[in-house]
Chains A and B, each alone.
Chain A
Amino acid sequence: MTELTTLRDKDSREAARVLAALSSSLLPEPGIAETSSHSALDSGVLKSVLAEIRQRLRVSKDDFSINTQSKIYAFVSREISKAALANTSEKNVKDRLGNKGELRPSQYQVLMGEENTRAVIEALGNKKSHVIEAVTHPDEFVHLQASYTSEDEDIRPTISIKSVIGKRAEDDFILLVISKREGQIQQVGPVFRIYHSEVDLRDIRQPFDILRAFVREYGLTFQIGSVVSKFIENEVIGVSRSLFNSSFSAPKALKPIEGTKGTYYVPFIAGAETHVQAPHSEEATMRVLFAFVVDISKYATTMRRHKVQLTPSEHWRFPTI
């Protein structure tokens, strides 16, 4: 709440409005307002608030220098923040902005929570620090949001990409990270290296196009409900609720329907139930933002060709065909 005694008898909302009206009277004003909501305020109140601010800043009432104006602007600005944010916490606001994808990448906290996720990332030669760097300082990123279900259940994936220059030109690659936004946190999911020498990325700039090109090269055909594909993108599909109860994960039920026996693979699905079915029905309708299955055996062969240090395959926890 504001520290100004001239606003002590006002609640935070009213105090913010007085300070906003004061700002309008101080800032250059073309007489063609963006809003007319100050009209009911008493100019006497504005004068006394300004007088108190000048007194607190120890500047004379006749001092209209740039330096003094700047101090007054900064003071009023701080007081508006106190009043405008009096009924919430900074964390709440940051979480809301984080969910919407409105924070800068560097404002997100990056978590690689599940042991399984970390193991998968490290098994394929990726370092935690590189993943964090790709999320917090990406070359490009895209925030996706289903926005058709309640905020708690909504699925909010982010795809971040970061170019990495290798020692040899053929080792240049793009690190692609898929994460899930939960407030100000990005929970890391799959991470892949996409080598320019292995995947055709000509004329591709957007993160989603890069993911699509990667799956075209390393994807395995799979089936969800009645849909058979290598890459499902923004489709509503009828599924069995017991098989796909998670919205951002590597579900066991998502299996390839091609490939040779013993092939390692990683499935991934980002989607959420649409709640058009009865709550206790075994059937659910799922909006799939994207889903794919990566042939890890083929991917690992590429990594070895580029001399990436992988965990020996006998320690891998990837499912096999």
Chain B
Amino acid sequence: MSLPLLYSTNVLLKLLIQERFRGDIHYVWCSESFDSQSLPRYSLRSQVAPSSNPADIYRELKGAVQRKDQHCYKMTEQKLSLKSLAVSWEAAGEINSEEKEEIVYMVDNASFEDWRPLVYVIPRAMVDLRLKVVPANRRASFGPEYILPDLRRHEFDIIEL
């Protein structure tokens, strides 16, 4: 039986970029539980690896923001991801050159506050038909992971812990 909510951890800057440059349509990687470690040990859903577990991602980013850790792995990964996406979106004609430059500038000049993590809480019923299962060979572990390529802002709530 599928659970009623999906969870995704994303940084504030990503939210702002998707809102401003992608027509408020959000591409998110999500899980059926916020913290897979809190689930029964032998259940499939508990087998989500820390690198994909929303709670672990949240804790890592939150800690890095509090410590002002310039070398946080997750933050470095996010910087690269957002900048390479800007280049790819421009190449695909989805944004113009000026917008690409603006995204790159925003990422390079973001404050720690801009990297603070947000938890997206997504009622599954609203998006169930658009959920794409991440193939097993692309996951970090056995637990199920999903992609929502076109999440709209009214389809999720944001919480900070």
Contacts and interface: CB of A to CB of B under 8 A. Distances in A.
A24 B138 contact: no
B81 A84 contact: no
A93 B98 CA distance: 8
Interface residues of B, number: 42
Given A30-B29, A70-B71, A23 B135 contact: no
Interface string A26-46: 111111101111100000000
Interface residues of A, number: 42
B26 to A, nearest CB: 10
A90 B97 CA distance: 14
Given A31-B134, A32-B134, A84 B102 contact: no
A96 B102 contact: yes
Interface in B36-64: 51-52
B108 interface: yes
Contacts of B88: 17, 20-21, 24, 34-35, 37-38
Nearest to A86: B101
Interface of B is mostly: helix
B109 interface: yes
A73 B134 contact: no
A36 B91 CA distance: 9
Most chain B CB within 10 A, of A28, A30, A66, A96, is at A30
Contact of B105 (A17, A66, A94): A94
A77 B138 contact: no
Contacts of B51: 28
Q: Which are the 6 A-B pairs with shortest beta-carbon distances?
A: A23-B84, A20-B87, A20-B84, A37-B91, A37-B92, A35-B88
A80 B104 contact: yes
A24 B71 CA distance: 20
Contacts of B20: 102
A93 B114 CA distance: 18
Interface of A: 16-17, 19-21, 23-24, 26-32, 34-38, 66, 69-70, 73-74, 76-77, 80-81, 83-85, 87-88, 90, 93-94, 96-97, 102, 104, 106-107
Interface in B95-116: 97-98, 100-102, 104-106, 108-109, 111, 114
B80 interface: yes
Contacts of B68: none
